[in-house]
């Protein structure tokens, strides 16, 4: 078996990559998505996400692949390891560079290693780990981090002695609802009344929301959304955001069928005031970006949560992942669930210390998830 570290997705044959890709069309591992990130400068040396994608070949045939980036910071990861970096520096050891198998700027759980049907993770992961160890040793790389992998991958990482770290996110699950009102019928009265009150504020402010996907997307829509994205990032953090304007303008050319854009406008003037950008596959919806140029009461909740739930029910999607953080999601029906990351540390002493850290942290996460569930709005809770 031959392992290759590729400096660009372009070094990998698209048809071979696609043959390994998830059957549900998970958007963030699509060849086109990773290529879009590279072509628009959203990944690369200047962004801090340097591609080193792993491929495994047997008799010149691609049998496995994994996204991989070399990083000199921890930006855009959403699994926070700054305390680990500080501990390294206090002991005179460099934490950066490190290797990260993740989707840049995208804390959406999904497969991280894709494998030909005739092989298994048991066959593939030891080979990948040995390759990681070799390249780390020769390039003074401190560690390897797999962020937001599917639950089904966790056992394989544990079997290869990686440390498993847990965190929590809030996910909406479709329990076979026929409509949004049917969904609200599962709420206790007080919470149901609050959601209805929030949703009515859209029409009381003379606003409406329209959905766009596939062939309906165009440069004007994407440019408007980019301006919202830019404005919101500047207000929140003072910088322009991780993704370039070119990313948004080119996205419909690459992954139009995976995009759902929800844009809010004034009913009378049709003036667009804000919106949210989602990605979808055959089973799930992923909330990613939001922005507005004017402040309206509850517009964020409508565009980022309620419209997404509506879309899932209408299209019979199983799950809606709206992104990280935000305990306000709980009373709107997003359930707290555990998420995972896996970590290999080259230095043996630090490997032991981090294993101890994640074990102690795990008990806190379990308590948090259990406690957070008490605040769900459902009648049965």
Domains located in the chain, CATH noted: 2-169+337-375 (3.40.630.30), 175-317 (3.40.630.30)
| Residue-level pLDDT at 226 | 96
- Look at 303 and 380; give whichever has higher pLDDT: 303
The mean-pLDDT minimum among 21-25, 193-197, 231-235, 362-366 falls in 231-235
Mean per-residue pLDDT over the chain, rounded: 95
Let me know if 19 is exposed, middle or buried by CB neighbors in 10 A (0-12, 13-18, 19+): middle
CB-CB contact of 168 with 365 (8 Å): yes
Residue 118 CB neighbours (<10 A): 8
Pairing of strands 61-66, 53-58: antiparallel
Q: What is the pLDDT of residues 32-53, one digit of tens each?
A: 999 999 999 999 999 999 999 9
Confidence of residue 205 (pLDDT cuts 50, 70, 90): very high
d(CA 91, CA 109): 33
Q: Region 166-171: what's the mean pLDDT?
A: 96
pLDDT(277) > 90: yes
What's the pLDDT score for residue 240?
77
Model pLDDT, residue 294: 86
Compute the distance between CA of residue 316 and CA of residue 322 in angstroms, rounded to an integer.
17
What pLDDT, on the 0 to 100 scale, is given for residue 232? 82
In the predicted model, is pLDDT for residue 235 greater than 80?
A: no
The three-state DSSP-derived secondary structure of 292-328 is ECCCCCCHHHHHHHHHHHHHHHHHCCCEEECCCCCHH
What's the CA gap between 62 and 308, in Å, rounded?
37
pLDDT band for position 231 (50/70/90)? confident
| Residue whose C-alpha is closest to residue 308's, from 331, 275, 330, 265 | 275
Whether the per-residue pLDDT at 233 is higher than 70: the answer is: yes
Who has greater pLDDT, 214 or 238? 214
Query: What are the pLDDT digits (tens) for 81-97?
Result: 999 999 999 999 999 99
pTM confidence score: 0.95
Rounded CA-CA distance 189/172 in Å is 19
Residue 381 pLDDT > 70, yes or no?
no
CB atoms within 10 A of CB 283: 16
What average pLDDT score do residues 57-82 get?
Answer: 96
Task: Please compute the mean of the pLDDT values over residues 164-186 and round it to a whole number.
Answer: 97
């Amino acid at each position: 078996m031959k392992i290759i570290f590729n400096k660009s997705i372009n070094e990998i044959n698209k048809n071979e990559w696609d043959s390994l890709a998830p059957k549900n069309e998970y958007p963030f591992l699509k060849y086109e998505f990773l290529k879009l990130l590279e072509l628009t400068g959203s990944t690369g040396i200047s962004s801090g996400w340097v591609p080193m994608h792993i491929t495994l070949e047997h008799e010149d045939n691609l049998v496995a692949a994994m996204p991989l980036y070399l990083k000199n910071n921890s930006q855009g990861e959403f699994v926070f390891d700054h305390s680990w970096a500080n501990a390294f520096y206090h002991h005179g050891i460099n934490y950066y560079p490190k290797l990260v198998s993740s989707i840049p700027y995208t804390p959406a759980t999904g497969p991280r290693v894709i494998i030909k049907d005739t092989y298994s993770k048991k066959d593939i992961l030891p080979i990948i780990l040995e390759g990681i160890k070799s390249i780390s040793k020769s390039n003074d790389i401190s560690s390897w981090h797999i962020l937001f992998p599917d639950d089904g991958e966790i056992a394989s990482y544990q079997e290869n002695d990686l440390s498993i770290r847990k965190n929590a996110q809030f996910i909406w699950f479709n329990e076979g609802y026929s409509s949004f009102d049917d969904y609200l019928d599962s709420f206790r009265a007080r919470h149901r009344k609050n959601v209805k009150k929030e949703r009515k504020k859209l029409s009381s402010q003379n606003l409406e929301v329209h959905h766009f996907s596939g062939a309906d997307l165009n440069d004007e829509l994407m440019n408007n959304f980019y301006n919202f994205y830019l404005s919101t990032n500047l207000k929140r953090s003072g910088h322009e955001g991780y993704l370039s304007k070119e990313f948004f303008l080119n996205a419909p050319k690459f992954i139009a069928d995976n995009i759902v854009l929800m844009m809010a406008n004034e009913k009378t003037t049709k003036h667009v005031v804000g919106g949210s950008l989602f990605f979808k596959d055959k089973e799930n919806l992923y909330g990613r970006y939001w922005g507005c140029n004017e402040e309206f009461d509850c517009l964020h909740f409508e565009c980022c949560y309620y419209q997404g739930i509506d879309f899932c029910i209408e299209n019979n999607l199983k799950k809606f992942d709206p992104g990280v953080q935000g305990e306000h999601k709980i009373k709107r029906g997003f359930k707290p669930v555990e998420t995972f990351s896996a970590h290999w540390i080259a230095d043996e002493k630090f490997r032991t210390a981090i294993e101890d850290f994640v074990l102690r942290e795990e008990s806190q996460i379990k308590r948090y998830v259990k406690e957070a569930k008490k605040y769900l709005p459902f009648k049965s809770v």
